[in-house]
Amino acid sequence: MAIGINSFYSKQRLVRNGNDNIKVMRHPQHAKSGVFLWAHHEKLVIVDQSIAFLGGIDLCYGRWDDSKHRLTDLGSLIHSAITPTKRKKTSSSPSGEFPFISVSKSNSKLYMPDLIVDSPSTAAQELARPMSLPAASSSLQVPQPKDFFKQNTPEFERKSLMATIKQGIKGKGKHLAKLSYAPGELQNGPATISELDDVVDDLDGSAKFWVGKDYVNFIVKDFNNLEEPFDDLVDRTTTPRMPWHDMAVCVQNATARDVARHFIQRWNAAKNEMAKQNYTCPYLLPKAYVDCSLKSNFLQAKSQNVTCQVLRSVSAWSCGFIEPDIVEQSIHEAYVDCIAKAQHYIYIENQFFISLPRNNLNTLNQIAEALFTRIVRAYKY
């Protein structure tokens, strides 16, 4: 597959409540069309064909971040001094006792994760109270980490305040659901949505910014089992999350109109290919403009007036051109032209920079060749 983001699950989550105003089409449909090596990479949000946001956040896990770019997210789990109580028989401690080592009195505290609960109740205070070993101890029991950790967060007894809170969440949390369907199910067929009554049970220390698969590190592990959003992808106690910083732009007026018309063309082409007889999924029409300028300033931040042009790359498979050989590559042509005319400096920021050298018959992308030619010219002259 081009990318394993399970867009079928995303579609079902968006339309599951039956809102007639939400229409979703996935293109291409890999299974039916046999296309497995490419996918669209546009990120557009267009409001009333008058305001457009280009680039930025993908509709998938792990993309949200803030200016702090945190590397860890353990929720309410902190490191406090407690005395381990759970013991397990192992080859190194067959009697069930922990092995002993000598330590100095100044280092006689053992630090393990603990749960801090913001509540005045006695049960919560007992749960949150840090406990330390006696300072006079000259020996310290060393616990086995696997005795205390269940995958990503420690498991605590479901009782007192926490049990009451979780029971209340269960009663109100029927909206939490996961997608369950067979691997061979048709992509346009019905999906089975099952209730997640037990989601809360896996959320100890659950005051997190990135819940479940939103905590990601793509270098360590790529996405899998995306229909299980509340299951952690990596062990957050040992694996730092990968910070994310997306760039986006907001445009208005005539530029936003051009972006809207590009989307309308793409939507109508996909509708004609995949949902021609589906009358609940309409064709779209561009608005008629007397004046396309925006009358009210919806942004609190100061905006600037600029002269800009929207560039794109489309062809028969993405915009429905009748002739398969017809393409529009205005963005590619602009790249090559700007590189050739550069006087002092070239800066390119692109998530997927793919370009092959000259005389290669398998690609018509000339960006790398244009860079090479301009660098050689700068060196010679």
DSSP string for 264-290: HHHHHHHHHHH-TT-TTS----PPP-S
Q: In the prediction, which pLDDT does 198 show? A: 52
Q: Which residue has the tokens 């018309």?
A: 261
According to DSSP, the β-strands at 177-180 and 192-195 are antiparallel
Q: In the prediction, which pLDDT does 78 show? A: 58
The per-residue b/e assignment along 213-235, b for 16 or more CB within 10 angstroms, e otherwise, is bbbbbeeeeebeebebbbbbbbe
Rounded to whole angstroms, how far apart are CA atoms 36 and 3?
9
- For 68, 71, 75, 100, the CA distances from 238, given in Å and listed in that order, are 20, 11, 14, 25
CB 229 within 8 A of CB 61: yes
Dihedral angle at the C-alpha atoms of 313, 315, 317, 323, nearest 10 degrees? 180
Domain ranges of the chain: 75-207
Q: In the prediction, which pLDDT does 31 show? A: 67
Rounded to whole angstroms, how far apart are CA atoms 170 and 280?
35
Question: Which residues of the chain carry a pLDDT beneath 50?
Answer: 1, 80-86, 88-96, 98-161, 165, 169, 171-197
pLDDT (tens digit, 9 = 90+) per residue, 174-233? Answer: 433 333 333 343 444 444 444 444 555 555 556 888 999 999 998 898 888 878 888 999
Rounded to whole angstroms, how far apart are CA atoms 10 and 35?
19
Distance of CA 61 to the CA centre of its chain: 2
Rounded to whole angstroms, how far apart are CA atoms 332 and 355?
11
CB 336 within 8 A of CB 370: yes
- What is the Rg, in whole angstroms, of the alpha carbon atoms belonging to the chain? 28
Q: In the prediction, which pLDDT does 132 show? A: 43
Q: Nearest to residue 191, comparing CAs of 200, 199, 180, 201?
A: 180
Rounded to whole angstroms, how far apart are CA atoms 339 and 321?
29
Phi then psi dihedrals of residue 111, to 5 deg:
-100, 125
Structure tokens at 37: 């090596």
The alpha-helical segments, DSSP class H, found in the chain are: 7-15, 30-33, 122-128, 160-172, 253-274, 316-319, 330-341, 367-380
Rounded to whole angstroms, how far apart are CA atoms 94 and 99?
10
Q: In the prediction, which pLDDT does 94 show? A: 42
CB 355 within 8 A of CB 365: yes
| 3-class secondary structure, 343 | coil
Q: Which residue has the tokens 């407690």?
A: 82
Q: Which stretch of DSSP H or E encloses residue 358?
A: none
Report whether the peptide linkage leading into residue 28 is cis, meaning its omega lies within 30 degrees of zero.
yes
